[in-house]
Structures are given as C-alpha cells and as structure tokens.
C-alpha cells in the first residue's frame, strides 16, 4: 500500500479494526497514487476508457463526500485525476476525523449518562400529542430498570409501565402544558423501577420542545430523565440532621458560642439560646453587650479566666472552671472549653466554645471530698485497725490506729510481710485464714492472732479479714481488728478457773459417792444385824429398843440418799430419753416395797395414759416421784380406813401431767409456801431429812417444769406437776 | 419357809466386810436359804476357790452373793475374771450382786452383765431372800 495512505490510516484509524469498505477504498486510492508516482510505465499510458472510468469513480467518491460541486469540470486527463485523487484523499481524511470525533462524543455522552444515571430521549410530537415511538438512550432503559430493545420507546408505554400511578396525571399535565404553551418542563415524579412497586425511585425530568420555525408548532420533545432518589434521600437526611441539630442547639443546656476577634471590639457571631438557662441573660442581651460574658464572671475568678484565655492567642485551646453570677445573683460553677482559630498571619480571628453548668458535679465533688475526709478521719480515729494486705501478704495500707496499737509507725509497717508482725505460733492460723478466704471470697473470716509490739512482747488482736483481691476499689485482703489482749487474758484465766472448777466438781462428785457409800455400807450392816436380832427375840422391851434404833438408822440412811440425789441433780447434765412411765412406776413400787416393808398397808394406785412419746430425764423423774410417793406413805393418816396414794400420769409429745394424790394427814395452809425450802420440816415428829421436797422442787426446775399443791389437813394432799417434753 | 428345805446347797458370800459376811451367814442359815455358806473375804480368794474346784462339782457354790466395793479387786473386776472360768463353773453358779452402792450406773452395769441375775441393796433381809429364791 502507498506510504502516504498507510500513514493516514495509522494516524486516524485503528488499523486492526478498519471497516471493510474503507480497506477497499484505501486500496484503490493507493493504487491510483502508485500509478501516479511510478513512472515505470509512462510508455504504457492507460487507455482512455480506463482513465475515464477512474475519473468517474473519483467523482462519485467526491459526491459521496458532498464536495464535488465546487470542483471545476475537469477532463479525465491524468493531472485532473491526480487532483481529484488528492481531493478524495483529503475528504476521506476529513470524514475519518469527523467520525472519530462523533464517536468520542457519543462515548462521552454515554459515559455521562451512566455516571449521572440520566437517560435521554426524544419523541416526535404529532398534533400536540406524543403518540409515535421515538428514541430512548440506553441509560434511560437503565434508569427504568429495563433491557434496551424490550420495549417500544413510546410515552404511553413509559407512563403505563413505570410511572407511579399517583404521578401519571401530574406528568401528563406537565408534558401537555410544555407542548402547548411553555415549551419546557422540569418536574420530579416517582417511578417503579423495572415496573416493580417495591422499587420506588424518584426521578427528575427536563423536557424541551423543538418547534417548527415556520409554524411554531411542536415537532419533537427532547428530554433527559435522571434518578435523583439518592440525592433526595441524602437531602432529606441532611435536612433532618439540620433540624435535629437546631433542636439540640436550642435544648442543650450547654451554651455554644462563636465570637469574631477580628475587629478591635469582639463581636459575638452566634450564641445558643440555652444561655438564658445558664446565665439568666438572653441571647439578645449578650449581643447587645459584648463584655457581658466577662462581667458575669465571679470577681475572684476573673483573673484566672483572663490568664487562661491568653492561651487562645497562642492558638491553644483552653479549658477552665470558674464561677459566674447569674442575672438573679445566684452563683454557678461552669466549665468553658474554647477552641481558637488563627489567621495565616497567626492572628486570633475567631473563637468557638462551649460553656457547661457543672454546679451539680462540683457540689458532688466537694461532697465526695468532704465525705472522704470524714471517712479518713473516722478511720484514723477509730480504735480498730484497718489494713489492706496484698496477695503476697504484704501490708499495702494500714490505719494510724494500728500504729498506736503496736508502736511501729505506719511507714514501718507498709511493705512488711504480715508474718513479720504475727506471732510464729499463729502463722499456721494465718495460712488457714487465707485458705478459708480462697474458698469463699466475700465472706469475712474471724480471727484471733498475736501481733508483735515494737517494745517487745505481743498483743492479742481479734477481728475479721475478707478477700477483696478482686475488689473494684480496694484490692487485697481487708482486715479489721482490735486489741483484745485484756479480754483474751481474762478468758484464758476464766478457762483455767473453769477447768479447775470442773475438776473440783468431779472430785466433789466422787467424794459424795464415796462418802455416801462409806457411810451407807456400815449403816446397811447395822440395819441387817438389827433386823436379824429382832427376828431372834420375843422380848417386847428389846424389840422396842431395837425398833427405835432401826428407825433412827433408816432416817440417817435416807438422809444420805437425799444428799446423794441432791448432788446428782445439781451436777449432772440432763439426759433426755423417751420416758417409759410404766417401767418407771414399777421400779418405784419395788423400791417402796423394800423401804416400807411391812410398815403400812398403803394402797398404791397408778393410772398411766401415754399418748405419744414424751422425752425427759427418766432418772430425775424417778427421784421426784420416789420422794412424793414416799412422803405420801410416811405421812399417811393411820386413822383412815383406806389409806392410799394415787399417781396419775397423762403424757404425750406436749408434756406430762403428773398428779400424786393421797388421803394422808395433809399440810396446813401456812406451810404450803415453805415446804419446798431446804431443810424445812413441818414438825419435829416428821421422819424426813428436810431435803425431799426441796429436791423435788429443784429437780422440777431442772426439767423446766412446774409444781403446785392442794392440801387440807385431815383430808389429804395433791401435788400437780407439769413437765414439758424435752425431746 | 420350811427350815428343813434348803433353797441352795452351797452359797458363796464375797464381801470384804466381816460384819456383812457374818450377817449373811446368820440370815442365810436362819432362813434355810443355804445348807452351807462359803464366806470369801476378797474377790481374789473367791476366784482361787472357784478355779481350784472347777472340776469338783460338789465343792462349787450354787449361788454367789457378790459385793461391788472391795479393795484391790472389786465386784466388776471379779466378773471380768469369772468370764474366763470354764463353762462347768459358770453353768452351776448364779451370781447376785449385793451392794450398798447407790450409783445407778453400778446397778445398770451389773444388770447388763450376762452372769448377774439380780442386784440387791444391802442389808440382806428375809424379804430379799424370798425374791432371790422365787424370782
């Protein structure tokens, strides 16, 4: 191919994608040029007919380009042909350039449409109506959410398929008016993207009418439709934010302000209305008096504020707490935070700031400081020591009171190990305390430990410690204790004396038994011999003497028995068991049979009604019943034909009611109060020790029961006892 | 009580007090409780006697009155040793505790011993003997 042509192609075309028609044309041109520039065949000039044919083709080409008119009619001579060819070449190049440009513009337009989500369209107007299909750009299809070509581009299809039903009328009216009157419209309306009511979008549409210049009637309506949903949403959000901002500004308790510092006199640019709440002055008042902000500052704080504001000129923001006096004279604590703006030259041009009412916070702070002070003073003046020890058992904090207690200064104690201050014998206790606290944090553990005193020696301290290693405020073992040395010493002394007492008591008990046995044994021997001797003789005088001796010895024996019972009652613990009254009364009956063998024909009646388990000390009940029954026998009335003693027992889980009734000689009323006294006897004739009823009373007291009596001399006596069940 | 009809052939009385041994012998004989009374002044001597005569059924007592409070070896110590004697001895002898002890614990301890069949308080009287003879 001809070089020139090749150059042209490479300059204006993408050689690889040259349209086929162009290739043929370029070939032809190339050949022609070759023919001209190759003088190798001058001797073989072209046939006239051939030249004529070439000429004709060149003219045709020029016609195609529309530039043949101005050409002189030239012959088909070679020079003309060359001229023509040059012309064709030029036109060809121009056309290529134009096409190129057009292509670029199209591409540009398309890109813009895509970027702006704007689709363009053109519809023919026929008799002021949009009936004919027109042109929709690809992007318009995209805006509508439709595939290009799937739909005839008519106004009717557009409105029916995509426009929100509520907005169809609105759109038609606007379009109608534009065609008939204004020639232009610019409206917003809603569409269903892809015809889907769920995909609501807002579009803006601008339409322009192209008129027939002669008639003024509308020819075409050209327009652009673009999706402004996102823009609208953003705008709406922005508006909302603005409104809220405004609201916030109005309701904020903090006061915002901006002040221009450019002129000599400061000029307030803006101030939030909340200044009325904070200062008691309105925005207007602040605008009117530029110095008002300074006037309201509490006199004592003015200097500090001015000093702080110097930072602003250096471009540093300031934060300062001071007091202001409100319009009503009330003092308020405020905190102001100001950010300065400097000019390029470093001059302060503007400040923006917030003033916050911190009166409440300040008061709370002061109250806290105050309460801290009180608390500390309480701690320091308390007699209890309060300590905090680390996990490694080193003192982190101790109160002055500990120092007073043990003589070391607070500084000497802090940092030392707990073990250094605690008696070596108590280290095991400390370890067990730690163990207990590990098991159950938050539960205070009680302790008694010996602490080292600086002057030597030890003091006993009693208190508790709690595991606060995971505490929020205080981390560590918190101890709280006091000097109880005197108490412990007292207790130790008490324990020792208690032990001595116990020992004495035991000894006394053993003593009582052994003495009573040693006393009784010979008595029993004498009694035995007396009885034996009495059975050997018939002599009345001797029998009477021996009988008196026997009575006396029996009295002594009973006395010993009573003392023994008394001792047992006073000293022995109560042993609670289910009481078997049947068995108990049978024993008593046996016992009495020996005691009063052959002495009296006393009737002994027993009525027992056991309604459930009754618990008490059976041995003690036995003692008191034995005493009451033997009293009844001893003081039976010999005059009566049927002397008796009757024991009635009604027992159950609630307790036991015991009645011992006799028809004996009775007790005169004046003695009723006294008969339970120790060693009290109604008459010298009475054969008792004077311990019996005392023992009964003591035993009943021990069993938490009560006793009462009814007695009429000559008629008999009734003892009524109630014993609670101790089970 | 029929004086010619003895309750027991041989009755042993173990007591450190001479007066009690004396009284027991008198009472037992008078009321024909025993044909022969074997007084022993200590638990040790009583045990020796039983041990020595364990093969001699005739010499062994039918009943033993045993005191509790005795020096060196008391009634309960005796019972511990008695336990070790052969069945032949234990089968023949009935043991009755006879004491002036008022300790309820003593009575309980005695009654819980399998070889003791009764607990009597001193002094020994005719009435008490009746209880032993006809329990």
* Partner residue opposite A532 with nearest CB, options B17, B27, B103: B27
pLDDT of residue A677: 83
Q: Kindly report each contact of residues A65-70 with a partner whose C-beta sits within 8 Å and lies 24 or more positions away, as own/partner.
A: A65/A91, A65/A92, A65/A94, A65/A95, A67/A91
Residue A394 has pLDDT above 70, yes or no: yes
Residue A518 lies in a domain: no
Is residue A88 in some structural domain? yes
Contact yes or no for B102 and A525 at CB 8 A: no
Contacts of residue A520 in chain B, CB cutoff 8 Å?
A: 100, 102, 122
pLDDT tens string A609-649: 999 899 999 889 988 898 898 888 888 888 888 889 999 99
Residue B135 predicted with pLDDT over 80: no
Q: Are residues A92 and A189 in the same domain?
A: no
| Residue A200: strand pairing partners | A192
pLDDT at B3: 44
pLDDT at A46: 54
Stretch (H or E) spanning A207 = strand A200-211
DSSP H helices, B18-94, are 18-30, 43-52, 75-82, 87-92
**Looking at residue A325, what is its pLDDT?**
92
Strands B63-66 and B94-99, bridge-based pairing = parallel
A714 φψ region: left (φ > 0), alpha (ψ -120 to 50), beta (else): left
CA–CA dist A110, A138 (Å, integer)? 8
Q: Indicate the residue of B23, B103, B104 with minimum beta-carbon distance to A528.
A: B23
Q: Are residues A35 and A122 in the same domain?
A: no
- Spatial distance between the Cα atoms of A239 and A244, rounded to a whole number of angstroms: 9
From B124, which residue of chain A is nearest by alpha-carbon distance? Answer: A528
Contact A478, A387 (CB under 8 A): yes
Residue in A closest to B122 by C-alpha: A524
Which residue range is the domain that position A146 belongs to? Answer: 117-235
Compute the mean pLDDT over every residue in chain A, rounded to the nearest whole number. 84
| Dist CA A569 CA A694 (whole Å) | 11
- Model confidence pLDDT, tens digit, residues A46-73: 556 677 777 777 777 777 777 655 555 6
**Residues of A with Cβ-Cβ distance to B17 under 8 angstroms:** 521-522, 525
- Are the Cβ atoms of B100 and A564 closer than 8 angstroms? no
- CA geometry: angle A583, A588, A592, nearest 5 deg: 150
| Same domain membership, residue A360 and residue A399 | no
pLDDT at A600: 58
Specify the DSSP class assigned to residue A532: H
For B122, the closest of A516, A524, A532 (CB atoms) is A524
Cβ contact (<8 Å) for B19 and A535?
no
Measured between CA atoms, the residue of chain A closest to residue B29 is A532
Please write the tens of the pLDDT for every residue from A573-597.
Answer: 888 989 999 999 988 887 777 665 5
Judged by CB atoms closer than 8 Å, whether chains meet at B19 and A529 is answered as yes
Q: What is the pLDDT of residue B41?
A: 92
- Confirm if A600 and A645 have CB atoms less than 8 A apart: no
Rounded to 5 degrees, what angle do the CA atoms A558, A562, A567 make? Answer: 150
- Give the per-residue pLDDT at B82: 92
A674 plus A705 within the same structural domain: yes
Contacts of residue B127 in chain A, CB cutoff 8 Å?
594, 597
Q: Which of B69, B102, B122 sits opposite A528 (nearest CB)?
A: B122
Nearest CA-CA partner of B43 in B82, B88, B92, B86 = B82
Nearest chain B CA: its distance from A650 CA (Å): 26
Indicate the residue among A483, A501, A516 that finishes a domain. A483
One-letter-per-residue 3-state SS of A408-463: CCHHHHCCCEHHHHECHHHHHHHHHHHHHHHHCCCCCEEEEEEEECCCCCEEEEEE
Q: What is the DSSP string of A379-390?
A: HHH-SSEEEEE-
Residue from the list A516, A525, A564 with its beta carbon closest to the beta carbon of B19: A525
Q: List the structure tokens of A549.
A: 């001796």
Confidence of residue A423 (pLDDT cuts 50, 70, 90): very high
Query: A157: closest CA among A139, A143, A166, A144?
Result: A144
CA distance A401 to A399: 5
Is there a domain that residue A502 lies in?
no
Q: Which residues of B touch A531 (CB under 8 A)?
A: 123, 125-126
Q: Is A489 within the bounds of a domain?
A: no
Our CA-based measurement puts residue A523 at a distance from the nearest CA of chain B, in whole angstroms, of: 9
- DSSP secondary structure code for residue A670 in this structure: G
* Tally of domains in chain A: 5
Q: Is residue A219 less than 8 Å (CB to CB) from chain B?
A: no
The domain boundary, picked from A300, A330, A364, lies at A364
Residue A220 sits at φ, ψ, to 5 deg, of: -140, 150
For the stretch A355-393, pLDDT in tens is: 988 888 888 888 888 888 888 788 777 888 999 999 999
- Whether residues A409 and A430 fall in one domain: yes
Residue A59 shares a structural domain with residue A128: no
Is B118 a residue whose pLDDT tops 60? yes
Burial letters for A157-191: b for 16+ Cβ neighbours within 10 Å, e otherwise? ebbeebbbeebeeebeebbeebbeeebebebebbb
Contact A75, A48 (CB under 8 A): no
Q: What is the pLDDT of residues B44-103, one digit of tens each?
A: 999 999 999 988 888 899 999 999 988 889 899 999 999 999 888 888 889 999 988 877
Beta strands across the sheet bearing A348-357 = A267-271, A255-260, A348-357, A331-342, A318-325
User: Given a cut of 90, is residue A422 above it in pLDDT?
Assistant: yes
Q: Tens of pLDDT along A449-472? A: 999 999 889 999 999 999 988 887
> Predicted confidence band at A351 (pLDDT cuts at 50, 70, 90)?
confident
pLDDT of B1 > 50? The answer is no
Residues A454 and A312 in one domain: no
- Cβ(A87)–Cβ(A67) below 8 Å: yes
Distance separating alpha carbons of residues A562 and A623, to the nearest angstrom: 9
Within a domain: residue A190?
Answer: yes
What is the CATH classification number for the domain harbouring A678? 3.30.565.10
The strand pair at B8-14 and B63-66 is best described as parallel
- Among candidates A520, A522, A529 on the partner chain, residue whose Cβ is nearest the Cβ of B102: A520
Sign of CA dihedral A367, A373, A376, A382: negative
> In this structure, are A584 and A705 located in the same domain?
yes
| Domain end marker among A443, A458, A483 | A483
| Mean pLDDT, range A81-94, rounded to an integer | 79
Tell me how far apart the alpha carbons of residues A183 and A223 are, in angstroms, rounded to a whole number.
11
List of domains in chain B: 8-133 (3.40.50.2300)
Burial class (CB in 10 A: 0-12, 13-18, 19+), A323: middle
Alpha-carbon span A92 to A76, nearest angstrom: 21
A543 within some domain = no
Contact B27 A520 (CB under 8 A): no
User: Does the pLDDT at position A45 exceed 60?
Assistant: no
Q: What is the CATH number of the domain that holds A314?
A: 3.30.450.20
Q: In this prediction, what percent of chain A has a pLDDT beyond 90?
A: 24
Distance CA B95, CA B118 (A): 7
Q: Is the pLDDT of residue A38 over 80?
A: no
**pLDDT interval class at A407 (50, 70, 90):** very high
Q: Give the model confidence (pLDDT) of A491-509 as tens digits.
A: 889 999 999 988 888 888 7
Contacts of A292 (CB under 8 A, 6+ apart): A281, A285, A286
pLDDT of residue A43: 44
Q: Could you give the C-alpha distances from A589 to A27, A41, A499, A606, in angstroms and in order?
A: 158, 176, 41, 10
Spatial distance between the Cα atoms of A191 and A202, rounded to a whole number of angstroms: 6
Query: Is the peptide bond preceding residue A690 cis, with omega within 30 degrees of 0?
Result: no
Contact between A661 and A716 under an 8 Å Cβ cutoff? The reply is yes
**Three-state SS across B24-37?**
HHHHHHHCCCEEEE
Q: Is residue A718 located within the same domain as residue A590?
A: yes
Per the domain annotation, does A29 fall within a domain? yes
| Yes or no, beta carbons of B103 and A532 under 8 Å apart | no
Contact list in A for residue B30 (CB cut-off 8 A) is 532, 535-536
Residue A690 domain-assigned (yes or no): yes
Six-digit token pair at B63? 């009943």
| pLDDT above 90 for A659 | yes
Residues A84 and A194 in one domain: no
d(CA B13, CA B42): 10
Whether residues A31 and A164 fall in one domain = no
Are A297 and A162 within one domain?
no
Whether the predicted pLDDT of B2 surpasses 60: no
Q: What is the pLDDT of residues A527-566, one digit of tens each?
A: 888 988 988 889 999 999 998 888 888 888 888 888 888 8
């Amino acid at each position: 191919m001809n070089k020139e042509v090749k150059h042209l192609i490479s300059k204006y075309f993408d050689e690889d994608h040259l349209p086929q028609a162009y290739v043929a044309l370029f070939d032809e041109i190339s050949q022609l040029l070759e023919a001209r520039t190759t003088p190798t065949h001058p001797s073989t000039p072209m046939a006239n007919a051939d030249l004529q044919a070439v000429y004709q083709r060149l003219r045709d080409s020029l016609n195609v380009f529309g530039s043949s008119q101005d050409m002189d009619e030239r012959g088909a001579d070679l020079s003309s042909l060359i001229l023509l060819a040059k012309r064709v070449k030029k036109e060809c190049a121009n056309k290529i350039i134009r096409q190129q440009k057009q292509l670029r513009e199209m591409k540009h337009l398309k890109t813009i449409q895509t970027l702006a989500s704007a689709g363009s369209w053109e519809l023919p107007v026929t008799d002021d109506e949009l009936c004919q299909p027109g042109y929709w750009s690809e992007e318009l299809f995209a805006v509508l959410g439709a595939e290009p070509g799937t739909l005839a581009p008519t106004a009717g299809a557009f409105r029916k398929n995509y426009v929100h039903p509520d907005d169809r009328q609105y759109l038609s009216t606007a379009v109608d008016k534009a065609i008939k009157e204004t020639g232009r419209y610019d409206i917003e309306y809603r569409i269903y993207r892809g015809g889907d009511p769920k995909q609501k979008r807002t579009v803006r549409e601008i339409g322009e009418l192209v008129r027939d210049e002669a008639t003024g009637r509308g020819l075409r309506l050209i327009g652009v439709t673009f999706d402004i949903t996102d823009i609208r949403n953003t705008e709406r959000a922005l508006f909302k934010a603005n409104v809220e901002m405004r609201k916030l500004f109005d309701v904020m308790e903090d006061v915002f302000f901006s002040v221009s510092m450019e002129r000599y006199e400061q000029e307030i640019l803006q101030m939030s209305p909340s200044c009325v709440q904070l200062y008691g002055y309105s925005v207007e008042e602040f605008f009117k008096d530029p110095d008002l902000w300074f006037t309201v500052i509490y006199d004592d704080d003015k200097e500090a504020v001015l000093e702080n504001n110097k930072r602003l000129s250096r471009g540093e923001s300031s934060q300062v707490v001071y007091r202001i006096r409100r319009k009503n004279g009330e003092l308020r604590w405020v905190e102001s935070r100001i950010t300065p703006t400097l000019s390029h030259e470093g001059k302060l041009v503007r400040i923006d700031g917030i003033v916050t009412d911190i009166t409440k916070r300040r008061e709370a702070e002061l109250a806290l400081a105050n309460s801290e002070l009180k608390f500390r003073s309480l701690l320091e003046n308390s007699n209890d020591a309060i300590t905090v020890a680390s996990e490694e058992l080193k003192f982190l904090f101790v109160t002055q009171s500990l120092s007073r207690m043990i003589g070391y200064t607070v500084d000497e104690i802090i940092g030392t190990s707990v073990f250094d201050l605690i008696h070596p014998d108590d280290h095991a206790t400390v370890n067990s305390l730690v163990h207990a606290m590990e098991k159950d944090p938050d539960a205070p553990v009680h302790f008694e430990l010996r602490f080292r005193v600086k002057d030597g020696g030890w003091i006993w301290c009693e208190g508790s410690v709690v595991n606060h290693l995971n505490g929020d405020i205080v981390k560590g073992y918190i101890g709280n204790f006091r000097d109880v040395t005197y108490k412990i010493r007292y207790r130790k002394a008490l324990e020792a004396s208690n032990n001595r007492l116990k020992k004495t008591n035991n000894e006394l008990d053993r003593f009582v038994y052994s003495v009573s046995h040693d006393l009784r044994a010979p008595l029993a021997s004498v009694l035995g011999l007396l009885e034996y001797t009495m059975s050997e003789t018939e002599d009345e005088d001797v029998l009477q003497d021996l009988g008196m001796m026997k009575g006396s010895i029996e009295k002594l024996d009973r006395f010993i028995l009573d003392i023994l019972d008394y001792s047992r009652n006073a000293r022995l613990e109560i042993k609670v068991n289910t009481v078997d009254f049947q068995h108990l009364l049978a024993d008593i009956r046996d016992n009495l049979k020996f005691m009063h063998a052959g002495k009296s024909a006393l009737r002994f009646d027993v009525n027992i009604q056991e309604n459930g388990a009754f618990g008490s000390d059976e041995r003690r009940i036995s003692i008191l019943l034995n005493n009451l029954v033997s009293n009844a026998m001893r003081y039976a009335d010999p005059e009566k034909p049927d002397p008796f003693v009757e024991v009635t027992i009604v027992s159950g889980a609630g307790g036991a009611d015991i009645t011992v009734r006799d028809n004996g000689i009775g007790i005169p009323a004046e003695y009723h109060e006294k008969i339970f006294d120790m060693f009290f006897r109604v008459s010298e004739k009475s054969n008792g020790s004077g311990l019996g009823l005392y023992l009964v009373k003591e035993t009943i007291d021990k069993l938490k029961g009560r006793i009462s009596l009814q007695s009429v001399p000559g008629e008999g006596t009734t003892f009524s006892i109630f014993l609670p069940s101790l089970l | 009580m029929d004086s010619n009809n003895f309750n027991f052939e041989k009755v042993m009385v173990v007591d450190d007090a001479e007066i009690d041994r004396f009284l027991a012998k008198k009472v037992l004989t008078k009321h024909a409780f025993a044909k022969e009374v074997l007084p022993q002044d200590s638990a040790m001597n009583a045990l020796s006697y039983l041990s020595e005569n364990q093969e001699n059924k005739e010499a062994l007592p039918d009943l033993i009155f045993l005191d509790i409070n005795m020096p060196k070896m008391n009634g309960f110590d005796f019972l511990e040793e008695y336990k070790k004697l052969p069945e032949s001895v234990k089968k023949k002898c009935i043991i009755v505790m006879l004491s002036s002890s008022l300790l309820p614990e003593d009575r309980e301890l005695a009654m819980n011993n399998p070889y003791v069949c009764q607990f009597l308080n001193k002094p020994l009287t005719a009435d008490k003997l009746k209880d032993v003879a006809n329990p």
